[in-house]
Structure 1
Amino acid sequence: MTDDLLNPSLAALRRGHKSDPAPVLATRLDRLRRLRALLLEREADLLDALSHDFGYRSKQQSAFADITTTVKSVNHAIKNLSFWMQSQRRQTDLSLRFSGARCESAYTPKGVVGILSPWNFPINLALSPLASALAAGNTAFIKPSEITAATAERLAHLIPEYFGPEEVQVALGDVDTSRRFAALPFDHLIYTGGEQVAKSIMRSAADNLVPLTLELGGKCPVIVGPGADLDLVARKVAFGKYFNAGQICIAPDYVLMTADQLDQFLPKLARAVTRADASTTDNDAVSVINARHKQRLEQLISDAKNKGAQLHHFASEKPGGYSLHVAINPGEDADICREEIFGPSLMIKTADSLASQIAMVGEGPHPLAIYVFGDRRTFDEVAKNSQSGALIHNDIIFQYANDDLPFGGIGASGMGKYRGIDGFREFSNHRAIYRGGGIDVSKMVTPPYPRIFGAINKIMRKL
């Protein structure tokens, strides 16, 4: 899409916002219900497009990961929106209260929200932010990833069937289109993707002072504490790497455990992989998105081997079966130690204590999620001594299934939070509202100063 199409689309959305700058509850609910109808009524079309884009992608997984999770977000907003929209009473200083003044805060729409969505969950990560933007009363402009082109085209075809051009629009195009999209003067922009692109987006957004939400991922560690249930760890890690072929920003990237635990863990992981694979059919498979990403994953494992890693490969003999590459203790200069894996490969590093594991996590950028296995004392120790977007105890990935938890990172893993009430607030202007009283306080603090000025000044310092 060229600038002569991007700019008119943005202008139409701007008109839509200006014509109704503070949509009432009924309008917002209507938009959310239309979004839900799109997902449910056109699910088959969307699933076909997703499978086409991935080469093959299980329709069962797509139905859950892209459709159901998004419908859940929409339903959550519909159920709670009337509460979210309520203004909040704020405390009025005693000195102002005497004048009759009152204070409150309210969440008002920002305007036009831009959504730059990725390829790994191309429906959920485009339309879940859209649900938050619509709940907050905004109009929205979506630029889906060109890597999942069939899904992007399907969205571009379906959105106009459910929304007017002054409510929601979709831009199609390549990387250059995404670059120009990011430079538009939005009232808010959310980007989900990689760190390097995020830096470019921040530079573009700075020219128009556009506020940003960045969801960036990174290397999510699994900390295995003393006495952890290694069977549980193996099942959860296998799931995290099997689901969407590990192409998830919150997938476990590497595991930290002691050498003694490692000896017990590897056969358990092998059994977990075998069990997962035995219970699936070819129809349950998900492909790595394209040849370029497959080559990148192969290069990570090859480089890890060249830099001292012990390699294991758990693979199925059936077509489309589960395949997991494991690199153990590569040298610190290995690419896999720095780059997000984002696929069906896993790094394991051994450390002699929980304190050492926590220190290893702290040496790198703050992750989007930290997964902790062990007792409550282990969890509390990690919580006290680490930073991450989310902290999860004895489970993997399912924090995203809870719509009332904020989703987002910190530092290199992102900025801002959305989903549920946090998404509503992220895409709203938190506005301060002050209602002056009947007594003119300004006369008491401006020349000619009244006799009681000194007393008023002292009182205010003690309030």
Structure 2
Amino acid sequence: MAAVLARQRAAFLGDGPPDVALRRNRIDRLLALVLDNADAFADAMAEDFGTRPRAATLFTEIMGMISVIEHTRSHVRQWMKPTRLMRPAGRLGLRAEVQPCPLGVVGIIGPWNFPLNLVILPAAAAFAAGNRVMIKMSEVTQRTAGLMAELAPTYFDPAELAVITGDAQVGAAFAALPFDHLFFTGSPTVGALVGQAAAANLVPVTLELGGKNPVVVGPDADIGRAATRIAQGRMINGGQVCVCPDYVFVPAKHAELFVATVRDTWRAMFATVIANDDYCSSVNEANFDRVVGLVEDARAKGARVETVSPPGETLPDRATRKIAPTLVRDVDDGMRLADEETFGPVLTIRTYERLAEVVDYVNARPAPLVAYWFGPDSADFRSFVARTRSGGVARNDFAAQMIPSAAPFGGVGRSGIGAYHGKAGFDAFSHYRTVVGSDLPFTITGRAAPPFPPSMRLTTALALRMAHRRTHKRLSRLRRR
């Protein structure tokens, strides 16, 4: 891996920043890699998961990335342009601009839940910014990783894009390489380790992490529609999505109707689970056991647990690694389910009387990747947005914050550092370099060098006095308000 990094860095320095045509060509080859082999990738992911619907893979994993990449490709030329500063001073001989410059070699560490999408999207952004890319695929989805490593050399010189496979030890060594930027998608626990490894080399990081995403069913919401959409969203990819709704606050007076609608929705979706090719398995036994353990821990500590299993089926089923859609109520802070990201087909239901209770509960916990609200665009909704913190907010639909191709995507606090998608991705992998040239007949900053004439002392004192007066005048106006 160190040799690959050295080769990429030497090529980057030797060739210089790529022009817009080459950047777009790399993005096009990246898209071709995916689209030419979409069926093969869908097959590989189905094998990795045990059961993963082909339609879901093609829709969420592959089609879901195209609009973002196309948006990036179409705006590269615009984003590459330097920004001129102090334009009037240019006529006097002082020219200043900020140039977006590529960083060099970007390392990308991908997760297992969307093992293709979540390495291709950051790679496209890194290419748009003019960088070379090394990708470490997740070891959990080995067949997908192997296919990506096999196909990449057909589309890219390894000095442009290299794909690394291997276990967690390989991942740790990858994170410790002296990249120019390191991008990681995964859990907060592993993200902290990646950040520590990168810090040893002062490598800047983008960390796309997870968390427990709250959902608020507003007091004026359509309960049936909200419950149906939340139930559907929880089951995407078997609940193994970083933006899945995790726990739901429902007005106490509507709790029974909400639960009944979720239950009916799941029953209508899944007449069978075990033999259902549309029902996604837990990716491996470790995640299967973890999710089952979270539910059993809650049950043992007094939570009400309801599994919506089809008639005649015993779930969870270890052979298929399938867990029934599950509702959990009466969860308290002594249960693991209260704090750990579920990442499975489990939905926690909480009730509230006043929205202030909801805000206090959400704010007392680490900021989530997304907060959901179901109901009209009301004063209550605007207050919730203003008074809570999250990576994004979506109202009335699952993952609506990801629909605009230009919208930044990322977390805050424990749910992530930095963002990408659209220009945010270009910015994440660029250095904004200030370039100033002076053809003035006199020096500006040279006046700070001794000796200091009386005129310089006087003008400095006058300028400071004027700034002092302006500041206190503004403060005085504010106090009078």
TM-score bucket of the superposed structures, by smaller chain: over 0.9
Secondary structure (helix, strand or coil) at the match of 1:282 reads coil
Other-structure match for 1:45? 40
Q: 1:214 aligns with which of 204, 207, 212?
A: 207
- Relative to structure 1, the CA distance from residue 421 to residue 318 in structure 2 (aligned partners, 3 Å threshold; closer, same or farther) is farther
Q: Is structure 2 residue 265 aligned with structure 1 residue 255? A: no
Question: 2:396 aligns to what?
Answer: 394
Partners of 2:6 and 2:438 lie apart in 1 by 37
Equivalent in the alignment of 1:3: none
Give 1:163's match in structure 2, choosing from 156, 159, 177: 156
The equivalent residue for 2:168 is: 175
CA offsets, 1:113-139, max 9 Å, x none? 000000000000111110111111000
Which moves more between the two structures, 325-334 or 153-162?
Answer: 325-334
Letter in 2 for 1:295: D
Contact 1:21–1:109 (CA<8 Å) still a contact in 2?
no
What is residue 193 of structure 1 aligned with on the other side? 186
Which letter does structure 1 place at the counterpart of 2:385?
Answer: A
Give secondary structure in 1 for the equivalent of 2:195: helix
Superposed CA RMSD in Å reads 2.2
Shift of 1:98: 8.4
Q: 1:312 aligns with which of 306, 330, 342?
A: 306
Q: State percent identity of aligned pairs.
A: 36
Report the counterpart of residue 336 of structure 2 in structure 1.
335
Tell which deviates more after alignment, 431-440 or 242-251.
Answer: 431-440
* CA shift for structure 1 position 275: 3.3
Q: Distance in 2 between matches of 1:360 and 1:304?
A: 19
* Structure 1: distance between partners of 2:54 and 2:414: 33
Closer, same or farther in 2 for the Cα pair 1:371/1:91, shift >3 Å?
A: farther
Deviation at 1:97, TM superposition (A): 6.8
Aligned to 1:323: 324
Task: Write out per-residue CA displacement over residues 164-190 of structure 1, whole angstroms, 9 at most, x where no aligned residue.
Answer: 011000111000000000000000001
1:407 partner amino acid:
F
Tell me if the contact between 1:242 and 1:322 (Cα under 8 Å) persists in the aligned partners: no
Post-superposition offset of 1:344: 0.3
Distance in 1 between residues matched to 2:366 and 2:419, nearest whole Å = 18
User: In the alignment, which of 419, 429, 441 is matched to residue 439 of structure 1?
Assistant: 441
Is contact 2:281–2:323 with CA below 8 Å preserved after alignment?
no
Query: Within the alignment, does 1:371 sit opposite 2:372 as a pair?
Result: yes
* Counterparts of 1:25 and 1:348, CA distance in 2: 50
Deviation per CA, 1:6-43: give whole Å up to 9, x if none. 11111121122112231110110110111111111111
User: How far, CA to CA, are the matches of 2:439 and 2:266 in structure 1?
Assistant: 69
Q: Give the CA deviation at 1:367.
A: 0.5
| Counterpart among 79, 83, 90 of residue 84 in structure 1 | 79
1:12 counterpart = 2:14: no
Structure 2 equivalent of residue 289 of structure 1? 283
- 1:350 alignment partner in structure 2: 351
Structure 1 residues 444 and 300: CA distance shift in structure 2, 3 A: closer
Question: In structure 1, what is the Cα distance between the partners aligned to 2:86 and 2:295?
Answer: 58
Contact 2:175–2:194 at 8 Å: present in 1 too? yes
State the Cα deviation string for residues 416-461 of structure 1 (Å, max 9, x = none): 0011110000011111222223232245443444665356536755
Aligned pairs, number: 456
Residue 301 (structure 2) pairs with residue 299 (structure 1): no
Distance 1:188 1:111 in 2: 8
Distance change in 2, residues 1:444/1:331 (3 Å): closer
Structure 1: which amino acid aligns with 2:408?
A: P
- 2:471 corresponds in structure 1 to none
Match of 1:112 in 2: 105
CA distance in 2, matches of 1:402, 1:373: 19
Bigger drift between 71-80 and 48-57 goes to 71-80
Cα shift at 1:398: 3.2
Distance 2:150 2:232 in 1: 34
Structure 2 CA distance for partners of 1:90 and 1:50, relative to 1, 3 Å? same
Contact 2:95 2:436 (8 Å CA) reproduced = yes
Distance (Å, rounded) in 2 between the aligned partners of 1:51 and 1:279? 19
Amino acid at match of 2:340: E
Separation in structure 1 between the aligned mates of residue 95 and residue 457 of structure 2, nearest angstrom: 24
Instruction: For 2:447 and 2:96, locate their aligned partners in 1 and report how far apart those are by CA, in whole Å.
Output: 20
User: Residues 33 and 362 from structure 1, CA distance in 2 versus in 1: closer, same or farther, beyond 3 angstroms?
Assistant: same
Please tell me whether the aligned partners of residues 220 and 253 of structure 1 are also in contact (alpha carbons under 8 angstroms): yes
Q: Decide whether the 8 Å contact of 1:21 with 1:111 is kept in 2.
A: no
Ranges in structure 2 where 5+ consecutive residues have no aligned partner: 314-319, 468-481
1:396 aligned partner, one-letter code:
F
SS at match of 2:235: helix
Alpha carbons of structure 1 residues 42 and 263: separation in structure 2 relative to 1, 3 Å: same
Change beyond 3 A, Cα 1:57–1:193:
same
Contact 1:277 1:322 in 2 (8 A): no
- Equivalent position SS for 2:122: helix
Deviates more, 1:315-324 or 1:422-431: 315-324
Q: Secondary structure at the match of 2:325?
A: strand
Q: Of residues 145, 157, 163 in structure 1, which corresponds to 2:138?
A: 145
Q: Tell me the distance in 2 between the aligned counterparts of 1:313 and 1:457.
A: 74
Question: For 2:55, which of 44, 57, 60 is the aligned residue?
Answer: 60
Q: Partner letter of residue 306 of structure 1?
A: A
Task: Kindly state the Cα deviation for residue 149 of structure 1 after the two structures are TM-superposed.
Answer: 0.2
Query: Counterparts of 2:312 and 2:410 in 1: how far apart (Å)?
Result: 37
Other-structure match for 2:411 = 409
For structure 1, which runs of at least 5 residues remain unmatched after alignment?
Answer: 1-5
Query: Which residue type is aligned with residue 105 of structure 1?
Result: V
User: 8 Å contact 1:187–1:210 — kept in the other structure?
Assistant: yes
The counterpart of 2:125, out of the listed 120, 132, 139, is: 132
